[in-house]
Amino acid sequence: MADMFSLDGKIAVVIGGAGSIGGAVALGLAQQGAKVSIASRNLERLEASKKKIQEETGAEVALFQVDMNDEQSVIHLAEQVLSEFNTVDILINAHGANTKSPAEEFTAEKWDALFDLNVRGIMFACREFGKIMIKNKKGKIVILSSVRGSRATLWGGNLGYCSSKGAVDMFTKALASEWAQYNINVNAVAPSLVAKPETWATRTPEQIEKYLANIPLKRVADPKETAGIFAFLASPASDFITGQVIYLDGGLSAVA
Ligand SMILES: NC(=O)c1ccc[n+]([C@@H]2O[C@H](COP(=O)([O-])OP(=O)(O)OC[C@H]3O[C@@H](n4cnc5c(N)ncnc54)[C@H](OP(=O)(O)O)[C@@H]3O)[C@@H](O)[C@H]2O)c1
């Protein structure tokens, strides 16, 4: 039973692996035995994430610079990982952002930049790392979506974000269906608000009330709480799960 959750020796790439969620996920995969590479733009943040993972697990961590808005940069990332490790078993897309704008003021530039990062960048990464997984006839892809891919907010500004995450949810299902023939599992994780306790403590009572209104567990997730579901979806324990959007939302999607 314990082996079903092991990632021993698996080659994993976490894009956005210096982010709040991506960093926790990369650490979780390393704790389960994976050889983890983390990638994003800012080298200093990558170095800090690498140091934390190495200190906590003793595992070696590789880091690569990538700009997910740039197709060539993503292609280069896959080439670098292949040249260093010869293969890839697990791809985590944990990068992303929210560009808020009132719907009536959304510019083409803002809209395109958001979709380039949150949707197109994921397509590039899956395409490039997927080529390796197709050759291997196996692979695990986990994509960070959001509960906002299927539930809008009661407050404004999130038209672009919600739309991009809705696209991510459907991307996950379509890719899972297309690549099932290659034994590649594709799933998404959809959190509600994730915040470090120190960040959450700076919120006003009004903000807290707003965010927790429709969360049955009446709290937000700590980034550390995101790692488990990613490790599960990367492990043999989830071999028959594909095309799913798993809600990590304190019950929000059960009631809203
Ligand atoms: N936090 C939440 O409450 C929450 C809830 C639901 C869903 N999500 C989703 O989770 C994802 C990450 O959230 P987070 O809270 O972990 O945010 P975060 O701490 O800001 O991390 C975002 C990560 O994405 C990377 N990134 C941004 N632009 C990039 C680019 N052009 N190329 C490569 N990497 C890029 C960042 O690294 P660099 O800046 O160094 O490139 C960073 O590692 C987002 O998709 C978000 O929508 C978050």
94 Cα–ligand 1 center, Å: 6
Is any atom of ligand 1 closer than 6 Å to the C-beta of 193?
yes
To test the ligand 1 pocket, which listed residue (36, 41, 73, 95) has its Cβ within 8 A of the most ligand atoms? 95
2 Cα–ligand 1 center, Å: 31
Q: Could you report the per-residue pLDDT of 25-48, keeping only the tens digit for each?
A: 999 999 999 999 999 999 999 999
Is any atom of ligand 1 closer than 6 Å to the C-beta of 29?
no
What pLDDT score was predicted for residue 2?
A: 67
Average pLDDT over residues 88-100: 98
To test the ligand 1 pocket, which listed residue (41, 192, 225, 230) has its Cβ within 8 A of the most ligand atoms? 41
Share of the chain above pLDDT 70, in %: 99
What pLDDT score was predicted for residue 121?
A: 98
Exposed/middle/buried for residue 108 (C-beta within 10 Å: 0-12, 13-18, 19+)? exposed
Model pTM? 0.98
Neighbours of 240 (CB within 10 A): 6
How distant is the alpha carbon of residue 158 from its chain centre?
Answer: 19
Pairing between strand 139-144 and 184-191?
A: parallel
What pLDDT score was predicted for residue 220?
A: 96
Q: Could you report the per-residue pLDDT of 72-90, keeping only the tens digit for each?
A: 999 999 999 999 999 999 9
The amino acid occupying position 238 is S
The amino acid occupying position 201 is A
Q: Could you report the per-residue pLDDT of 51-71, keeping only the tens digit for each?
A: 999 999 999 999 999 999 999
Nearest to 117 by CA among 93, 81, 147: 93
Whole-angstrom distance, CA of residue 151 vs CA of residue 112: 22
Is any atom of ligand 1 closer than 6 Å to the C-beta of 22?
yes
Active site residue 161: yes
190: CB partners within 8 A, 6+ apart? 145, 146, 147, 149, 150, 165, 169, 245, 246, 247, 248, 249, 253
Q: Could you report the per-residue pLDDT of 140-191, keeping only the tens digit for each?
A: 999 999 999 999 998 999 999 999 999 999 999 999 999 999 999 999 999 9
Q: Could you report the per-residue pLDDT of 157-168, keeping only the tens digit for each?
A: 999 999 999 999
For the chain, give the mean pLDDT.
Answer: 97
Q: Evaluate whether 224 touches 194 at the Cβ level (below 8 Å).
A: no
The domain at 2-255 falls in which architecture? 3-Layer(aba) Sandwich (3.40)
Average pLDDT over residues 191-207: 93
Whole-angstrom distance, CA of residue 66 vs CA of residue 85: 17
Residue 1 has pLDDT above 90, yes or no: no
